[in-house]
Every structure is written in C-alpha cells, then in structure tokens.
Amino acid sequence: MPYRKRDIAPSVGEGKRLPAGPETPVFCRAREYPAGTIIALHHHPDRHQLVYAETGVLVVQAGAGRWVVPSTRAIWIPAGMGHKVSCIGAVGMRSLYILPQVIAHPPASASTVSVTPLLAALIHAAMEVPPPYRPDSRDGRLMQLILDELQMLPVLPLHLPQPTDPRLQAIGRQLESMPDDPSTLQDWAGRLGVDVKTIQRLCARELGMTFGQWRQQARLLRALEQLAHGEKVIDVALALGYASPSAFTAMFKKRFGQLPSQFFH
C-alpha cells in the first residue's frame, strides 16, 4: 500500500562525525523510523558501518549501487562511502560503527550480508552498551565477539549495479519505472541507435552481468520491496512480467535460495 515519504537530515550517528573516540573499536546506535522516511545522502569518514533493520526493510543507495535489505540481512558500508537510506514500512534500524583498523580484510565495497541469529542477538545486546567501554569488561568482550562474527558473514546477491553510461542509464530508468517491460536487446538497440553487441559490451564492462541478468535482478529486488509491503506473491509476479507465480517463485528461489514466503522469516 502507498506510504508517504519523509526526508530527514542525518542525525547523530548518521552525520560526518561519530560520538566515540579511537579507544572504542565498535559501538551500536538504535533508531526507530516511520514508514517512508528517507535519510539524506551522508558518509562516515572514520568508521565502517553495518546497517541492520531489526524490523522493516531498507533500500540503500551506496556508491554505484542499490541494495534492498530485509530484516534478516544487513549492508556493509565502507568508511567514507556516501549513502542514502529509504525505509520501506516502519523500520527499527540498528547501526554498528567500526574502526577500520580493528577488522581484517573487510569488504572493499558496499555489500549485503546475512545476519545470523547469533549476530542479531549480539547487535540487540550492543544497543545497551554506551561508549566508551573497557576492552576487558563484559561490554568489551561482547563487542569483540561482534567483530569476530563480522569476519564470517557471507555476501548475498541483493545488489543492483548502477551504470554510468547514458545509454544504459536510459535502460535502467525504464527498468525502474516499468520492471515488467519485455523489451529485448534488439528493441533497445533500435531505440538507442546502436548495435546489440554495443549494449552487451557495455553491460559486461559497467555491470559485470548480461542484460538479461540485470533485468532479472532489477525485477527481483523490486519484488522484495513489494513483498515487504505485504503484497501477495501472485500480484507481485504478474506485476513484474512473469508468466505465472510458479515461474516467479522458481526464479526467486534459484537466486536467493528461499521461497518468497520464507524470505522475510
């Protein structure tokens, strides 16, 4: 169902400077946002951020990509990377802020990761830990366990790359506004005045995937947003151009490893 957007400026913990010194390797901030809230573009120059929605779904623009982040997932944002956050439904946001030097081999780019039940419980507990804290205290050991868990998180395919070439951007705008558009590569080549191989090369170079994979990913991420709103699988499947709910369900499970009905649980 439709919801009203509410733009807000970054608040403490979402602005350029964070309220903890270098003696605090990781800390957590918790906030509740109503449906439709948009957190304006901002960045954290001194800390990595793990953004986790304990409830609700986030859509995050970070770097050259767009991610859909349900409550069983989180997004890793490297220090210094600009990002904008939109809330699909009411969101309980939990953010971890991590000094770069305390975590070995972090993802170099924004990435969606799985949140295990253990990590979810640790983040929930970390909400009650105010910085600073002593490393040898119970709070310090809790935060160290969080760092250990972060090293083990698998990266998940919830990312839609954003092209810089204006021809691909035109295709991307159409996929965004009409995800059920059945236009083929030949159709787009005719509209853009180029040959098919040009579009294929652009997709490989800028997106790291084929045109078909890009369109499929755009549809599946839109499906996540619609399912998060409570829409029925049959309605989502038909709205995104799938021939039947079973075809959509098969593609969804192949990509995400779960049925649509299981994904948000």
C-alpha 145: how far from chain center: 24
Domains in the chain with CATH codes = 6-156 (2.60.120.810), 163-263 (1.10.10.60)
Tell if the pTM clears 0.85, that is, is over it. Answer: no
The pLDDT tens digits of the residues spanning 133-158 come to: 998 999 999 999 999 998 887 777 67
Whether the CB-CB separation of 114 and 70 falls below 8 Å is answered with: no
More confident site: 264 or 234:
234
| pLDDT confidence bin for 70, thresholds 50/70/90 | confident
The pLDDT tens digits of the residues spanning 11-67 come to: 444 544 455 555 789 999 999 999 899 999 999 999 999 999 888 888 898 877 888
Confidence (pLDDT) at 222: 87
Other CB atoms within 10 Å distance of the CB of residue 100: 12
The pLDDT tens digits of the residues spanning 154-192 come to: 777 677 888 999 999 999 999 888 888 989 999 999 999
